[in-house]
Structure 1
Amino acid sequence: MEEMAVTIIAIALMIIGSFGIIFLKKPFDKVVMFSILDAGFVLAVVLFKYLDVALFIALADPIATIVYLIAIVKIKEIRSKKVESGEIHD
């Protein structure tokens, strides 16, 4: 019975994270929702006893999150430079 409750929690985390990524507008909010989705995914992988895959996910996820954050910052910098130079006309 406990395993079923943990499975429901994992599914709920993945659904909440997915809807958050889809419907939220701000990029940094999407990073938070991605972390929630990832927590549910890791939990589901551990429940299926793929511990080697869970280890790889646990090691690769922080790297992917850092790359995503760097990309967000660079895009904001490029957009602000284009607005300052007058290349974008809204």
Structure 2
Amino acid sequence: MEFFVSLIAIALMLIGAAGIILLKKPMDKVIMFSILDAGFLLTVVLFKYLDVALFVALCGPLSTLVFILSIVKIKEIRTKKVESGEIHD
């Protein structure tokens, strides 16, 4: 049973990492980051590092929030540069 759970954890991490690399939309990247985070948490639990798993479970939503805030800030900076005419394609 533990073997199948470890395969699921590895699959979640690989799908999340590939999605982050290949997808273009920032909000899709946030979803893939959450999938990667779930696979990482499952892997930590499988190795029986429950104190680390507690820390990962508490920091996961915070890192996702920081990721979303950085996406919003980058979008604001890009729109300001487009409005001021600094970007030349």
2:86 alignment counterpart: 87
Question: RMSD of the alignment, in Å?
Answer: 0.8
TM-score, normalization by structure 2: 0.95
Secondary structure (helix, strand or coil) at the match of 1:72 reads helix
The answer for unaligned runs of 5 or more in structure 2 is none
TM-score, normalization by structure 1: 0.94
Say how many residue pairs are matched.
89
The answer for unaligned runs of 5 or more in structure 1 is none
Percentage identity across aligned positions? 73
Mapping 1:1-90, distance limit 5 Å: 2-90=1-89
Deviation at 1:86, TM superposition (A): 1.2
Q: Which string of whole-angstrom CA distances, capped at 9 and with x for unpartnered residues, describes residues 13-70 of structure 1?
A: 1111111111111111111111101101100110111000000000111111111111
